[in-house]
Amino acid sequence: MKPLWNLPPKFISTTHSLGRFLRRDIVGLTPVQIRLALDSLSRLYPGPADVHFAYEMIQEQQVARLRLKRDQPKQGVFFVHGGGFAFGSARTHRAIASALTKETGCEVWIPEYPLAPEHPFPEALNTLEAMWREFKSQYDSVFVLADSAGGSLAVAVMQRLSREERHEIQGLMLLSPWVDLRSNSMSSRADSNAWSPFGRLDMLEYATHYLAGADPKQIEASPLLGSFESFPPTLIETSAMEYLHPDAYALKERLLAEEIEVCWREEENALHGWQLFPDILPEAKRSVEAMSQFMNEKRVDVPRHQMRG
């Protein structure tokens, strides 16, 4: 295996193992504490200054909206952030959203959906579905973007939509999606914890916080088990070495089995969450460029009410 960032694989594996030991067994950080720490650190990496970032209240929930200051974009991206259903926010995902805005001229919405364990399944799904209905009417082209646990939420919400509503979406972009919460999922069985700060025990813990006793075999809990009929063209991005690679691969196979157009993109040596640092990591910059190309190929510039007419 090639070195990652000029660091030997053994060093990376040992560092992750030590980090998990300190976090779980020594410090004992709770999801709420991790959430606060990540949000605090994210303020040190706000993204480019020429992208306007502001919060609004929509459906009694905060939504961050990002756009170029000079533009009134016709293309919108509904971005469901990841974070194990328990952490992550518009601020932790601001840099990648800003980079995508600069690359495409789109406006990005990042909903601050309710997080577990305070707000378990299906509260986040219900909130995101209501926010989606507010979002979709404002743009000529609409896309859905999600990473990690956000991938589960985004796919589950799309499975709730009618066939006609799914046809209105130009494209779905899933970055390292977590779409199977069962304890015996392929990702859990593989447990590639050498390349992740989180291992199988962490994933089971976060799934437990989120599900709060609900059956993980429910389709809305593990949307990999559901139907993908009439899904839009889908970009799936993963790293060959990351924990959730089996989830991403299984999702690709399910989509192809239902004859959905899939653009599959795989990084060889990237750690989970690499996309969040587009000004630092070359692989993250490549991700933004791939999403931009996908959007440019799928976008429409004719207002949808005219298309229907």
Phi first, then psi: give them for residue 262, nearest 5 degrees.
-125, 130
Report domain extents, the chain.
9-298
Q: List, in order, residues 6 or more apart from 171 with CB less than 8 Å away.
A: 143, 144, 232, 233, 234, 235, 294, 295, 298
**CA angle, residues 81, 82, 87, in degrees to nearest 5:** 100
What is the distance between the alpha carbons of residues 253 and 259, in angstroms, rounded to a whole number? Answer: 10
Phi first, then psi: give them for residue 26, nearest 5 degrees.
-100, -60
Q: What is the pLDDT of residue 252?
A: 98
pLDDT at 125 over 90: yes
Torsion of CA 159, 110, 60, 119, to 10 degrees: 70
pLDDT at 14 over 90: no
Whole-number average pLDDT of the chain = 87
pLDDT at 9 over 80: no
Residue-wise pLDDT tens digits, 194-217: 666 677 888 898 899 999 999 999
Per the document, the length of the chain is: 309
Which residues share a beta bridge with 146? 80, 174
CB of 178 closer than 8 Å to CB of 152 = yes
pLDDT at 115 over 50: yes
Tell me which residue of 28, 211, 192 sits closest to 116, measured CA to CA.
Answer: 211
pLDDT class of 137 with cuts at 50, 70, 90: confident
Q: Tell the CATH superfamily of the 9-298 domain.
A: Alpha/Beta hydrolase fold, catalytic domain (3.40.50.1820)
- Can you give the pTM of this predicted structure? 0.88
Q: What is the pLDDT of residue 304?
A: 40
Q: What is the pLDDT of residue 302?
A: 42
